[in-house]
Chain A
């Protein structure tokens, strides 16, 4: 594939260079060149080859794409999707509605304060909140599973509000 590309490059460069080799006549009166009246590009060489990449890129793998953000954050003692989480819910719901074969695991988390099993249940509430929000946007139940990691897999370690806030979170996992 690469060989064809460079060959194509060489071929098209050669074509360009040959087009530019004809000298431009300079006159005193300025010649206004209007792009719409530019002469048609040089006729393509019938032996040109322009390479094409097959298959579409998985939008989930694009780190800058709109599906890159997968975490929904929650306030302390809250199990309601905040305004800043709604765009994430919308984007992933739209993707799942277009791609019925895709499934997500929604993992809810809590900060480390409190009992292990009760925190597992609180994390579950966060996951369910995201699952219900996606459900109201039309995503079918068979495409989603809401589960909890409780306080067991913290993203940030520390007994301070910054770490706790980072861990009060539900993640959409494909």
Chain B
């Protein structure tokens, strides 16, 4: 496998994204549902935002709207962080908060993006921030501002500056592992080939992706450094190697190996050394996922007949059953706050996305026709793959089921989404 080619594509993709601002999306986002109580917020055009290759205030507005949590009001005017503010005016227009800012070109070619979040009811400043970025990272600066707004007004860290990975297939012969911003922009091909790629998994620091490739006529687990393009085989034991999941500290991976005659869960160092068996059943144990505190591993097991979700210690040992309703429960995913388990359950003939509050055991059906879920790093949203009309696509739903988004693409088939972590 040519290592330099993916690196070149990575670089080319970044430059392309910078040159053509908002419309080069491979993935378009449509909003279909919103939160029950939305915060009305007015967003002004930023002073001199035309010097940047992307319109900062437009990116912020789109982020806030997509979250479903805000009712975004276009201020219809330019306001910078040093403009005089008529709080009464904005209050009368129904806005509880106001976003203002500016973009300035620095001497070294970098851009300084400044912003302020204002409380119109208290007539006070809620937050301010300055970001200095290369022009190609204009959208990132805007996403960071949207994250700050989201956090100040909801109390939860925003996930607008995160990235997603997913696999596309074209003509049954071209498979691509693609990385894009959480809003679908800035897509870059990270890996591509003639054989399938499945189960991408971001490392906790967001610089590497583990995945399963079939390029050797069997499933093998790789870890690829996204920055350098270097790939390492983490597991190519006899039989099948799949389902990589990172420990929260990024030093180990849990994987499914069939090397002992049937699919079981094992642990391995990120460099492929020190393979240790963790699960112990005579049937199928697969799809391991670490809990956020790294102490437990949830996994799918059919030891009771059909697939159900179980939990064991991160070093293996006795497993306890977690799902009891329905006869087919797979794909456990854990939220970063440790509170929620999401998974796929086959009920009434179809596959649905469910969420369970781990403290109470309460279940909620979030979406139908869903597989392969992935939590946003703030635990508030789930991205998943949909199957409909012979094509697959991606969708997002909030953990309370209210906010819904569909990600449509011109690509043939898009599946296996994995939401990346918070990064600096």
- Contact surface of A with B, Cβ cutoff 8 Å: 105, 107, 114-118, 120-122, 124-125, 128, 145-150, 152-153, 157, 159, 173
Contact = CB atoms under 8 A, between A and B. Distances in A.
B284 A173 contact: no
A113 to B, nearest CB: 9
- The 7 A-B residue pairs whose C-beta atoms are closest, nearest first, are A147-B218, A121-B263, A152-B196, A121-B284, A115-B330, A148-B240, A121-B286
A153 B198 CA distance: 12
Interface string B320-358: 000000001011000000000000101000010000000
Contacts of B287: 115, 117-118
Contact of B258 (A114, A146, A149): A146
Contacts of A107: 217-218
B261 interface: yes
25 contacts: A105-B217, A114-B346, A116-B198, A116-B199, A116-B371, A117-B199, A117-B256, A117-B300, A117-B330, A117-B331, A118-B307, A118-B331, A120-B240, A124-B239, A125-B262, A125-B284, A146-B258, A147-B217, A147-B239, A147-B240, A147-B258, A149-B196, A150-B198, A150-B219, A173-B217
Contacts of A148: 218-219, 240, 258
Interface size class of B (residues with CB under 8 A): 20 to 34
B243 interface: yes
Contacts of B218: 105, 107, 145, 147-149
Contacts of A152: 196, 198, 214
Given A114-B330, A146-B258, 13 more contacts: A116-B198, A116-B416, A117-B198, A117-B243, A117-B286, A117-B300, A118-B331, A120-B242, A145-B238, A147-B217, A148-B219, A149-B196, A150-B219
A134 B242 CA distance: 25
A113 B275 CA distance: 31
Contacts of B243: 117, 120
B390 interface: yes
A117 B258 CA distance: 13
A115 B242 contact: no
A107 B240 CA distance: 10
B125 to A, nearest CB: 48
B372 A116 contact: yes
Nearest to B264: A121
Contacts of B344: 115
A115 B172 CA distance: 19
Interface in B202-218: 214, 217-218
Interface string B35-48: 00000000000000
Interface centre among B172, B261, B390 (most CB of A within 10 A): B261
Given A125-B284, A159-B390, A153 B371 contact: no
B128 to A, nearest CB: 45
A116 B371 CA distance: 8
B176 to A, nearest CB: 14
A93 to B, nearest CB: 18
Given A117-B287, A145-B218, A153 B196 contact: yes
